[in-house]
Copies of this chain bind each other. A is one copy, B any other.
Amino acid sequence: MTDTARAFVPGHVTAFFSAHPHADPERAGSRGGGLALSEGVTVRVEPGDGVELDAQPIDVASVETVLDALGAEARVVCQTDLPLGSGFGASGAMALGTALAVNDAFDCGRSENELVTLAHRAEVKAGTGLGDVVAQARGGVPLRLDPGAPAHGRMDGVPARTRVEYLTLGGLSTEAVLSGDTAQLSAAGERALERVRETPTLTEFMAAAREFAERAGLLTEDVRDVIADVEAAGGAASMAMLGETVFALGTGLTDAGYDAAVCRLYPPGASLVSVDPETHR
């Protein structure tokens, strides 16, 4: 027991999904696919109270739910370079990072699946995400074959490594989209997942993502223009679900003349970060 601990949780852009509400938040969730990113959220916990993001106090419902579930009185200090509210799963990352770090710092004795489940439930209850947490726990190019927490949701992945670029034009409210009619979106999401399960390559993944973005009816004019520019320059791009963000593989956005943020696919999932270089504790 060290009473402080740190965790890193990768950002996650969902490329396509279908929504699967359920009365039990552990079984609610989404099916779909996304990219886990080397940019993410670092969460440090220590005795105290209050939640901070990049040195500003912040209220995050899912983080509070996790703290309550673990019975922890902790100060939660989060840092990220990701844009917020733009489809990178920042709230899921904060919830999962809090679960991992609190469990370690305060000896809560939960397993990895239990911690992922806590964070997934908290996200679903807060209405801020349906599939980011389980995707962030796995890393890489996670495919969510079933909705829900680890006990219910089987996963697979597209084996890949690549540079990823992104450009954020604005925000979209996950809550607003998910509380609307999701039938058309979900049908498109099921179709996209089927495509990628059939041919689990990054090329097919991007084609399925692009088709989904078109069919789901969520493309804004600005996002559509940027994607078209990337494609005109020979690249592959699509829209982060849900944010006004375009992501592209390799140098897709740069080649199209945009000043994009650069990161890479992050195969490891979320995990504790060593604090002590000697003992790696």
Contacts and interface: CB of A to CB of B under 8 A. Distances in A.
Interface of A: 100, 103-104, 107, 109-115, 139-140, 143, 150, 156-163, 197, 199-201, 250-251, 264-265, 267-269, 271-274, 278-281
A113 B157 contact: yes
8 A-B pairs closest in CB distance = A268-B268, A267-B271, A112-B157, A111-B200, A264-B280, A163-B280, A113-B156, A161-B272
A272 B190 CA distance: 28
B274 A110 contact: no
Nearest to A113: B156
A141 B278 CA distance: 20
Given A250-B281, A278-B163, A281-B161, A156 B111 contact: yes
Contact of A115 (B113, B159, B197): B159
B269 A268 contact: yes
Q: Which of A111, A158, A281 has the most CB of B within 10 A?
A: A111
A265 B273 CA distance: 11
